[in-house]
Amino acid sequence: MSARFTGRTVLVTGAGTGLGRAIALAFAAEGASVVAAGRSAGTLGETVALIEKEGGTAAAVIADVTRSDDVRDLVRATVDRFGGLDIAVNNAGILRGTVPVGEVSEEDWDAVLRTNVTGVWLAMKHQIAHMKENGGGSIVNISSNLGTHLRIPNLAAYITSKAAVTALTRAAALDHIHQGIRINAVSPGASVAPMSLRSGESEADRAERMKSQTPLGRAAEAAEVAAAVLYLASPDAGAAVGTDLVVDSGSSA
């Protein structure tokens, strides 16, 4: 295993489950000190325990990305714990309102946009404030193939939010590259993670559905999405600025 992130501090939001956990584990496996952030102490503790079991270094911090003070304190806690913040992965997101657009409740619409868009903006705002005073850094936002690249029925709030994340990423990348901050996005499709399961669907059911719904014939493994994130965060992607890297088994090709 490479040690390309040894000496680096990485902050991952939404790190308690699914893709966020896979991303946190992948960075730790390559030598990074990882702060796993989210709203559930229990799941974050599990992520940290998995990292430490493999000899990695990690800490859990409770934070709600929709609250500016929480995100400010999260960045401070990261810097206090590990001495800096080199890489941030803004992965926290929710999926609600899986009905036609005219039937989406105002509560669901507001919750999805607040978490998926405003949460990413607030996270970047405080991450950038630190990075621009400390030699730069790298930010990777987790968007989706649903939005800019692909639309399907009954997911209007989520699709709108993720299209906005892609646009926000590109705008922020242009605004802050001159400060040494590279900002990019990864847009997963269906992956082997809880969010891609339909109501009442088992993992076996999902695997069967993916055979006909993706050109590759399967969902992306969480580790494959994590690998894309690590690439964009690494020096190997030094010329990637405002990139939106799609990892969706060919669904939006």
Decide: 215 and 167 in contact? Cβ < 8 Å. Answer: no
Q: Structure tokens of 42?
A: 């229990």
For the four alpha carbons of 188, 194, 199 and 203, in that order, the dihedral sign comes to positive
Residue 239, strand partner residues:
none
Which residues neighbour 103 within 8 Å (Cβ) at sequence distance 6 or greater? none
Residue 60, strand partner residues:
36
Burial (CB < 10 A; 0-12, 13-18, 19+), residue 98, is middle
Whose structure tokens read 């060919």?
250
Q: Per 3-state DSSP, what percentage of the chain is helix, strand, and coil (rounded to 5)? A: 50, 15, 35
What distance in Å separates the CA atoms of residue 78 and residue 2, rounded to the nearest whole number?
24
- DSSP secondary structure letter of residue 189: -
Catalytic-residue membership of 158: yes
Which of 96, 158, 159, 243 is an active site residue?
158
Maximum separation of any 2 CA atoms in the chain, in Å: 50
Catalytic positions, written as ranges: 158
